[in-house]
Amino acid sequence: MKDTYLKRLTDIPMEDYLVGGHVACQGCSASLGLRLALKVLGKDTIVINGSGCMTLLPVYPTTPLRVPWLHLAIENSGAAGTALYYALRRKNIDANILCYAGDGATYDIGLQSLSGAAEKNIDMIYICYNNQSFGNTGHQRASSTPRASRTSTTPVGKVEAAKDMTAIMAAHRISYVATACPSYPIDFLNKVTKAAEVKGMAFIDLLVPCPVGWGFDPSEGINIGKLAVRTGMWKLYEITDGRVNLTHIPKKRRRVSEYLCAQGRFSHLSERDIEEVQAEVDQEWSSLEARGYGYEIMV
Amino acid sequence: MITGNGAAAWGARLARSEIVPNFPITPQTAIIEVISSWIASGEMNADFLPMESEHSVQSALAAASSAGTRVFSATSSQGLLLMTEMMFVTSGLRLPVVMVNVSRALSAPITLWSDHNDVLAQRDSGWLQIFCSNNQEVLDSVVMGYKIAENSDVLLPMMINLDGFILSATREPVEIPDQDEIDDFLPAYNPKHTILDPKEPMSVGGVVFDEYMYFRSQQRMAMCNSKDIITDVCAEWEKMTDRRYGLVEPYCLEDSERVLVICGSESAILKYTVDKLRADGEKVGMLRLRTVRPFPCEGIVDALSDVEEIGVIDQDISPGSGGIIATEMKACLGRDVTSFIAGLGGRRIGAEKYEQMFKRLGRDVEEWIF
């Protein structure tokens, strides 16, 4: 492991580029994700934001950001990042380009623009802060919403499974793809470091538990993220050279009911529904175990 | 001899545009094709960014301009409308993007031929809008466009319209100025209001609440300021090239009793018609609106105050209201005009129909000339 990688929490840089006093909700993991990412990316970073919860960070005439920030619209972070890459090259500015956009802006409305940037393998880091819904408008269904989750537009639970976004990104043969969760900051930040080190595009799907949309106490956000991973419902992995490798394997997987029953969005599920989810997760993990927690995704 | 599309590309090249995001659409495509060949051969020092949609083209223009580079693109019709959301963002962020639109009627029914509903659908987007009458004017307007848009009293994006096929594909003699001359005329772009550099962190595109109306009023002021800036830049251009432009182009208005108002390349045939009728002793004239945004109200009032009968030719239609230019002319002049809807989807107008229009002036009606 290179010495640029973090080993313990105290290795996380103290310096902050997203400072306190902003208007994100209490217990918001999305703003935590950005704060953490900027700690390792440092001051030479330019953030491009797709409209969503994080758009409310700079409220005129104030800004909690100590690095440059560009917000244009919801669906064009990929295009904006592409143009910024060339503009910075012309201006001789050496900076990380960090696109920080929500899952609605990534899985759904911005997929085309993101695909355009991925096809060109533009040297930038794209972090999708994934609260599994259109969070800023009040938790509506998105293609990132998991099956069974209740949203304000799926009052009896979503029927379809979430889109496999990382596989879509891997299929573009970009340089680096990973999933993460701010509840596992060392794992997340080392992935951000790798994302910054690789030449070409890096995509990180970052699960950010949302107290308002998911229905849990704001103090519980970190625990909910941990439960998502410990129950096996959110897998931490990276994809390099067409190969998926898990970066964290829960020693003893917890029952999915611990995760589901802690959230209002799953409170309508019957025991039988929960057992179905458990069976699905079990099946997936036995398949993963059989493959040594790593497998080829691209030929 | 170059086409209107060639002239547009030459304008971008002479202005030293640095970043050219693009997406093909008929009848604009030849502009980006020729630019791509110049970049490949090293004749033009720019980055060619093939995007996956026009929405992304406009997003890329906005992002690259926010970072302080000079940007150019071209589009048409459906492509321009796909950009709509971002047109307002570019203008609201006060980014002096210059973009050519090769006008083409809107679908459905889908067609390739020209009219002005595509441009005028962007009328309220806060972009300056120039309508060109010939290929020389296309080249000149692109270069002048940067100087106007980048002026610190303006800082608004500019759209330069040329009519599809009529100009885009027609070869005309065009004088191409020397690069040195243009470099003196148009200094490098170094913005102070948007910077994306970690040395000077700035949040661009933040949220406003109560201040929103204040920003919109600044945009309106910039649009008002642009009238003088356009006039000044055109005067400077005339000194350099002997070619005169302004907000409006009056033709034979000194003693005119009857006048037709028009935008774009159709003005050439209308001028021919005016000459022909004048040879028969008829006191007719023409007023071409070169800018539609800003709407050149003062110039229109000056030019038309003594005219008895005014007709306005719209190559566009706002169903349920009428000709868009006619509606604005009535608001500007405070009097009746005869509104002619003609040339939709590139339908041929021609001198005979212009003669017919001159005969039918004097009624406050909307008449469709098929």
B318: domain CATH number is: 3.40.50.920
Q: Please tell me whether residues B281 and B354 are part of one structural domain.
A: yes
Nearest C-alpha neighbor of A104 from the set A177, A172, A55: A55
- pLDDT tier, A3 (very low <50, low <70, confident <90, very high otherwise): confident
Q: Which of B211, B241, B271 is the last residue of a domain?
A: B241
- Write out the H or E segment, with its range, that includes residue A35: helix A29-41
Residue showing tokens 């012309």? A90
Q: Please tell me whether residues B177 and B237 are part of one structural domain.
A: yes
Which CATH number fits the domain that encloses residue A75?
3.40.50.970
- pLDDT tier, A4 (very low <50, low <70, confident <90, very high otherwise): confident
Q: How far apart are CA B77 and CA B121, in angstroms?
A: 10
Structure tokens at A35: 């704060």
Residue A129: helix, strand or coil by DSSP? strand
| Residue A56 contacts B where some CB pair is shorter than 8 Å | yes
Long-range own/partner contacts, residues A114-117 (CB < 8 A, 24 or more apart): A114/A77, A114/A78, A115/A78, A115/A168, A115/A172, A115/B52, A116/A78, A116/A79, A116/A82, A116/B51, A116/B52, A116/B53, A116/B56, A117/A78, A117/A79, A117/A81, A117/A82, A117/A201
- The arithmetic mean of pLDDT across residues B186-198, rounded, is 96
B264 and B120 Cβ atoms separated by less than 8 Å: no
Q: Tens of pLDDT along A271-298?
A: 999 999 999 999 999 999 999 999 999 7
A124 CA: distance to closest CA in chain B (Å): 14
Q: How far apart are CA B144 and CA B246, in angstroms?
A: 11
Q: Please tell me whether residues B176 and B93 are part of one structural domain.
A: yes
Record: contact A113-B203, CB cut-off 8 A: no
Q: Please tell me whether residues B176 and B265 are part of one structural domain.
A: no
Q: Please tell me whether residues B234 and B253 are part of one structural domain.
A: no
Q: Residues of A with CB below 8 A from B211's CB?
A: 60-61
Check pLDDT > 90 for residue A1: no
Structural domain contains residue A80: yes
| Residue A254 contacts B where some CB pair is shorter than 8 Å | no
Show the domain range for A84: 9-291
Q: Tens of pLDDT along B210-263?
A: 999 999 999 999 999 999 999 999 999 999 999 999 999 999 999 999 999 999
- Write out the H or E segment, with its range, that includes residue B161: strand B158-163
- The arithmetic mean of pLDDT across residues A182-197, rounded, is 98
Check pLDDT > 70 for residue B332: yes
Show the domain range for B348: 248-369
pTM of the model: 0.98
Q: Please tell me whether residues B117 and B257 are part of one structural domain.
A: no
Tally of domains within chain B: 2
B173 and A26 Cβ atoms separated by less than 8 Å: no
Which CATH number fits the domain that encloses residue B77?
3.40.50.970
Q: Which of B241, B269, B302 is the last residue of a domain?
A: B241
Q: Please tell me whether residues B174 and B52 are part of one structural domain.
A: yes
Q: Please tell me whether residues B15 and B125 are part of one structural domain.
A: yes
- The arithmetic mean of pLDDT across residues A25-36, rounded, is 97
Structural domain contains residue A296: no
Q: Residues of A with CB below 8 A from B67's CB?
A: 83-84, 87-88, 91, 93
Q: Please tell me whether residues B224 and B118 are part of one structural domain.
A: yes
Tally of domains within chain A: 1
Q: Please tell me whether residues B202 and B265 are part of one structural domain.
A: no
Structural domain contains residue A299: no
- The arithmetic mean of pLDDT across residues B133-148, rounded, is 98
Q: Please tell me whether residues B168 and B121 are part of one structural domain.
A: yes
- The arithmetic mean of pLDDT across residues B160-187, rounded, is 98
Q: How far apart are CA B94 and CA B105, in angstroms?
A: 28
- pLDDT tier, A243 (very low <50, low <70, confident <90, very high otherwise): very high
Q: Please tell me whether residues B219 and B272 are part of one structural domain.
A: no
- The arithmetic mean of pLDDT across residues A188-217, rounded, is 98
On average, the pLDDT of chain B sits at 98
Check pLDDT > 90 for residue A250: yes
B110 CA: distance to closest CA in chain A (Å): 24
Q: Tens of pLDDT along B55-105?
A: 999 999 999 999 999 999 999 999 999 999 999 999 999 999 999 999 999
Mutate to test the interface with A, among B71, B91, B196 (most CBs of A within 10 A): B196
Structural domain contains residue A200: yes
A281 and A233 Cβ atoms separated by less than 8 Å: yes
- pLDDT tier, A2 (very low <50, low <70, confident <90, very high otherwise): low
- pLDDT tier, B151 (very low <50, low <70, confident <90, very high otherwise): very high
Mutate to test the interface with A, among B39, B52, B94, B216 (most CBs of A within 10 A): B52
Structural domain contains residue A4: no
On average, the pLDDT of chain A sits at 97
Alpha-carbon distances, residue B221 vs A60, B115, B294, B355 (angstroms)? 21, 30, 11, 40
Q: How far apart are CA A229 and CA A140, in angstroms?
A: 23
**What pLDDT score was predicted for residue A299?**
66
Structural domain contains residue A2: no
Structure tokens at B254: 């000194």
Structural domain contains residue A17: yes
A12 CA: distance to closest CA in chain B (Å): 21
